[in-house]
Every structure is written in structure tokens, then in C-alpha cells.
Amino acid sequence: MNYYLFLDESGDHGLRNIDPKFPVFVLCGVLISDEDYNEINQHFKNLKYRFWGNEDIVLHSRDIRRCENHFEILFDKNMKFDFYQHLNSIITHFNYTIFSSVIQKERYVHKYGQQYFDVYDISLSFIYERVIYYLDQRGGCEEVHVCIEKRGKKENDKLLSHMSNLYYNGTQYVTFDRFQSKLFKPYFQSKKDNINGLQLSDLLAYPIAKHVINPTNTNSSFDLFKNKFYSRNGSNYGLKIFP
């Protein structure tokens, strides 16, 4: 069986001038079998046709929350209710597994300093480790197509270098041979490429951030998918909060 791993982020990965209202960096990974992704992808297309008459719309969490750009239609309360009913149904009812890393930046800087390790790289390491655990439990995985939202060329090249290091050296918890037993193929995509799996990851990342920042606050968006995180031995291994 082949899988897709869609990766998107919420918050910036800078460690200077940390925003006290949003002091986290979230990297959200969504792992979906190719069979399940075909079904989810089609339902996203159906949703876009229902509300815009075409599938060219990119579902962007920030724009949806602010009713900006194509989402000005959500100022209509009835339209907004109908839209969220359909979107929430997709998020709730289809098969996928979440692997997310949340870096609490102020604690990170206090413990390790600003130059210790790139927070994107360490987040990806956490996610890859847990994906390996998941796949080892299930067996039969042939390839994992890792779909990542593009940043700049320098950042993309750095990330590819880090992925290569994981493949050849492993981590403290997962040996290199376990990485090499799975074929991770990275692909960089931009938002305009309109990849529905990336849009799903984007839609999940912000509620995860809000949950970690204020875990006691009501977070109905997070509640929709909180049972989708990877669970191992009864523990929530799919939500890594560090440090």
C-alpha cells in the first residue's frame, strides 16, 4: 500500500521577536493511504463545486476564518452554516491519521537557545519517527509520497538535506535501516497547485496551535478531529509538544 504524507505549518519558525499571542510553531502531517485519499480528494472537489461552481478554489484556513478573498460568501450566515456543515463532515468522517509537532518557542529558546536546531527540522524528525512507528505496526507500505508546501529555495534545499540525513543516519529513536526500509519521496508544492491534501493539513494546523496555546478553552474545530491523532499503546503519539 502507498501513502501520502501532507505537511503544512501554522505560525512562523523564527525564534526572535516571538508573538506572545501565538508563541508556537506547528508542523502538521496528515498520513492518508492512496485509496482513502482518492475519496477525500473527490469530496473536497465536490465541496468546491457546490459553493463556487469549480474546483479551482484553494481552501486556506486564514482566509476562511477572516471571510477574505473567495470566502467573502461566508458573510452570509446561511451560506456559512452550510459550508461548515460540509467541510466538517469531510474532516470528521474520512480516514486519515494526524502526526503533528508543536514547538513552544519561548520554552525552546529558554532551554536550548536560538541556534540549537531549526524548529522545522526537529518537527519533521518527530513526525517521521512516528510515521515509521505507525507503518511498522501495519506493514506492507511500499512508498510514502511526502507532499510539502514550498517555502524559499534555500529553505527547501535545507529541508531536503535534513531528510537525507534522516535517511542515512536515522535519529536517536529510529535507526537508519528502519528509515531505509520505507521509501519517502518528497515533493514540494505551492498553494496555487491546489493540492487538497495540503489544504486539509492547513485546516488542521491552526486549531492544533490554538489547542496547545489554550488547552482549557473551547475549541470545536479541534474537537472534530482529536480522535484522528496517531495513538500508540493508549497514548497520543500523534501530537508531540516540545519541549
pLDDT mean over 85-92: 97
Residue 110, domain CATH: 3.30.420.10
Tracing cell 491546489 back to the chain, one arrives at 194
Distance CA 153, CA 191 (A): 15
Q: How confident is the model at residue 23 (pLDDT cuts 50, 70, 90)?
A: very high
Neighbours of 72 (CB within 10 A): 11
Q: What is the pTM of this model?
A: 0.94
* Residue 83, pLDDT score: 98
pLDDT over 90 percentage in the chain: 78
How many structural domains does the chain have? 1
| Average per-residue pLDDT for the chain | 93
Indicate the range of 39-53, 70-84, 119-133, 175-189 predicted with least confidence: 175-189
Please report which residue ranges of the chain form alpha helices under DSSP H.
34-52, 61-66, 77-93, 105-112, 119-138, 153-169, 176-180, 196-213, 220-225
Burial 179-210, CB ≥16 within 10 A → b, else e: beebebebebeeeeebbbbbbbbbbbbbbbbb
| Residue range(s) defining the domain that contains residue 95 | 3-242
At position 90, the amino acid (one-letter code) is I
C-alpha cell of 169? 543516519
180 has a pLDDT exceeding 90: no
Measured between alpha carbons, how far is 97 from 19 in angstroms, rounded to an integer?
Answer: 29
